[in-house]
Amino acid sequence: MNKVAVLYTTPSGNDISLDEVLKTWDNLSKIPGVSYTMVHFDGFPTAEEFNQKIEKDVDAILGVWITPKFLNETFFDAHPNVTYIAGLAHGYQELDWALTRSRGITITNTMYGEYTIAEYAFSLLLDICKQTSYSSQHVKKTDWTNTQKRYMAAPVNQVELYQKTFGIIGLGAIGFRAAKMAEAFGMNVIAYNRSKKTDTKYDFIKQVSFQEVLGQADVISLHIALNEHTKNIINKEAISKMKDGAILINTARGSLIDEQALTEALQSGKIYGAGLDVLVNEPPLADDSLLTCDNALITPHIAWMPKTCRLRQLSMAIDNYESYLNGNPVSVIN
């Protein structure tokens, strides 16, 4: 019998219930030879809490935070049966990959939200470029019977995306979907990826260097994992090489950006606007300089949160584990 620990927290938002979450996870019981236990955490646990709360004899753990804090030698010594660990997110941070490989542990992520996160990146971009909500409020709040204001006049400037250059940093599943959306808007699409993509489906994308994306793109959208090589990849030097008036979108991880450098660029107008679903500190500190920038659109790390997407996330994690048990592991990251 394969013994599985499933980590969960009480879901946030009003559109999904804990009962729906637990009912979805119960599909694990349909896999022959699997028994599972739900392990509740109220927020992010410490490494010690994580170590202590997971039973010593589990074979697999689903829903782990893939960060350096949890998956270490101390944890694996205390849980010698573990051979499979699944994170629920697309993104993950660095850890001791060699250690996990040497112990024969398979680690996977869950590619559940490539469409919805790419959609959200474009919603941030469109809000910056079109400001439809602002214009709607302008119409609703103006007394048009007692004003000399012209009705058919834009209350804010607009930016047209057609024939602009959309630059992608990280051409994984989400980056590719963002590229397809940009193409549909009539944009020229360029991208930098650590290794060149060779499948014919990428033919509409011009794959270039990181420096070329910085210098050529009117819009830059970040879709890479956070690690020691990518932390602050958008820093003062990188921003200086960007086009004047470029737009920056980040739905990946906050620490990809040097936020002080971004603040200065927003204040000076070097960067026209930034759409950020992620920050270095979440929630932001009271004195976070980005909060003072009117041209920074900031949302609370919710690009992944539609109900359909969250339930798909759990179902895919179950399917991935079943694929592993059948000898065909998918989404392996180590």
Catalytic amino acids? 253, 282, 301
Residue 258 neighbours by CB under 8 Å, 6+ apart: 232, 234, 235, 236
Report whether 259 contacts 287 (CB < 8 A).
Answer: no
For 161-209, the DSSP string reads: -TT-EEEEE--SHHHHHHHHHHHHTT-EEEEE-SS---SGGGTTSEE--
Half-sphere exposure of 170 (CA within 13 A, CB side): 26
Phi-psi region of 294 (alpha: psi -120 to 50; beta: other; left: phi over 0): alpha
- Record the tokens describing residue 261, joined without a space: 């450098």
Half-sphere exposure of 177 (CA within 13 A, CB side): 15
What are the E-state strand segments in 44-116?
Answer: 60-62, 84-86, 106-108
- Record the tokens describing residue 178, joined without a space: 């963002």
Number of neighbours of residue 176 by Cβ within 10 angstroms: 22
In degrees, rounded to 5, the angle at the alpha carbon of residue 265 between the alpha carbons of residues 261 and 269 is: 175
> What sign does the dihedral 158-161-167-171 (CA atoms) show?
positive
Question: Of 217, 228, 226, whose CA–CA distance to 279 is shortest?
Answer: 226
